[in-house]
Amino acid sequence: MATNSMIIPVEERFGKLKEVLLEYVGIISAIKTANPSLIEQQPSLFFFLVFPWVADYSQLTAEQKDFLERRKLEVTAIKFDGERAKRILEEILAKDKHLAECCPTVAFLANYLDSYFIKPVTDAKVAGTTDAQIDFAFTEFERQTYHQGRFRRIALSHLYNFNMDGDSVTFDGDAKTIGSIRIERIAPNTIPQILGESGFQAFLHPLDAGNCFVVEEEGASGVDDFRWLSAKRGKAYFFAEVLQYFKDGVTHLGYSVPFFLPNWAHQIRRQGLFFLGNPRRMAYQGGTKPYHISETEKEHLQGWWKVITIPTVLEALENKKGNLRQATYRAAQYYEASHDRTESVERLIALAIGLESLFSPSDQGELNYRIALLLAQFIGKDAEERKAIFASVKDLYNRRSKLVHGSYNVEKYDKGEFVTAEEIDRWSVYLRRAYLGFMALYLKAYLAGRKAESREPILERIADANFNDAAGEKLREEADIEKLLAEISK
């Protein structure tokens, strides 16, 4: 039930709204009586008649503009003053703060007034409704318009395959840059509504794909809905990238949708489906391997987000100069792409290219062998793990070679047995760890004001570690991203 705090003050409303609406009820009633065929052709008659004057001509083709100019002549011929109606609508938006916030253009306002008052009351009047009943209808319209709270727009960006302990969490970032991120769990039966679908189960949002969303909420602004949602999606996208490096597991940003309050404003501004991104129609591994953030991990993730949003760190991440940074940038592109690819073969290729971006030597001889050896030395914690990584990555490139050269087993490929999701996940872990190691070395140099433009010295140190265990341990310690982030946060 609405409270007084939700009611828009009378002084912020257009004082003559009832007078205007009843005038147009009379005008539309007279036009319908004189032109009965229009009733069947155009049920929303007021909006149809005024549209040629309130349409955004900047978005139309020359042919569409000519069509509307001809429509103006036809509408004027049946005694409808479209120019005057446009002026009245503009006056309402100029003098009614709430309606101006909810209806960003006169076209939106015309649609709202027609859909929720002019059309239903006109139909009722033609059927013999009394003046007292019409007054009651306006009272209900006024209550709907002004008693449901101020305008808010909300951006909801789906984190695919993401789960967490609890239903809500906020991660505070640097206020001078990206700021905070809020994640909310949305009830499954609410998701079709925010997507613009009907029914109790969303078609575009599969079961077990995760029901957590990055949520951004704010009042009205001069930024149009598309640019506003794009900006909010960009922020959520960056957070999803951080998640991909924070721990092992598959997650990425899915679709982003806008939602508006009060509800009538949502109905006017969101007619049908409206989203950015590509909803993924299948849950990852049938929903059996969600990317999960526990209650204890939230504090750790908060630390990551706080450090990564520091201006100097963001500056380092945005820098793309130098051989080293370009190599890590390419590796990141393919690693992140491996999260949203739906086919295991596509993920295999992306991971193989990502590893090559970091470890491919300038001398291309025995390329795959050397990449596997360098990676194993760089991220392997002990000799046994390094041996396992070396063998596994050689296997990755062996299968990539079969794909490229068309020598793979067709039967296994068609059955999805050429490469498994479990194997892809293991190789993804290797690339994530390697990338974070390279980035730790890059960030240390960048934040200290030193040049770190070349990748070759790092590759040389990794190669030397094959003959010097102490050098290998020292390198891996310097490449520890957790230690670096802890140092930066002090």
Quick one: three-class SS letters along 312-365? HHHHHHHCCCCHHHHHHHHHHHHHHHHHHCCCHHHHHHHHHHHHHHHHCCCCCC
Of residues 268, 222, 216, the one with CA closest to residue 102: 268
The torsion angles phi and psi of 466, rounded to 5 degrees, stand at -65, -25
Q: Is residue 339 part of a domain?
A: yes
Same domain, 132 and 176: no
Of residues 63, 61, 73, 78, the one with CA closest to residue 27: 78
Count of structural domains within the chain? 3
Digit-by-digit pLDDT tens for the chain (490 residues) are 334 468 999 999 999 999 999 999 999 999 988 887 766 667 789 999 999 999 999 889 999 999 999 999 999 999 999 999 999 999 999 999 999 999 999 999 999 999 999 999 998 887 777 888 899 999 999 999 999 999 999 999 999 999 999 999 999 999 999 999 999 999 998 988 888 887 778 888 888 999 999 999 998 888 888 999 999 999 999 999 999 999 999 999 999 999 999 999 998 988 666 789 988 889 999 999 999 999 999 999 999 999 999 999 999 999 988 889 999 999 999 999 999 999 999 999 999 999 999 998 655 546 788 899 999 999 999 999 999 999 999 999 888 888 876 666 777 877 888 889 999 999 999 999 999 999 999 999 999 888 767 888 999 999 999 889 999 999 999 999 999 999 998 7
Q: Is residue 253 part of a domain?
A: yes
Distance CA 245, CA 328 (A): 13
Of residues 391, 382, 243, 404, the one with CA closest to residue 308: 243
Q: What is the largest CA-CA distance in the chain?
A: 97
Q: How far is CA 95 from the centre of its chain?
A: 34
Containing 27, the helix (H) or strand (E) segment is: helix 17-34
Same domain, 21 and 103: yes
Same domain, 338 and 476: yes
With H, G, I as helix, E, B as strand and everything else as coil, classify residue 164: strand
Range of the domain at 213: 152-291
The torsion angles phi and psi of 175, rounded to 5 degrees, stand at -65, -20
Question: What single-letter DSSP state applies at residue 171?
Answer: E
Same domain, 128 and 218: no
Same domain, 323 and 469: yes
The torsion angles phi and psi of 214, rounded to 5 degrees, stand at -75, 125
Same domain, 369 and 323: yes
Same domain, 125 and 156: no
Distance CA 418, CA 424 (A): 11
Same domain, 280 and 410: no
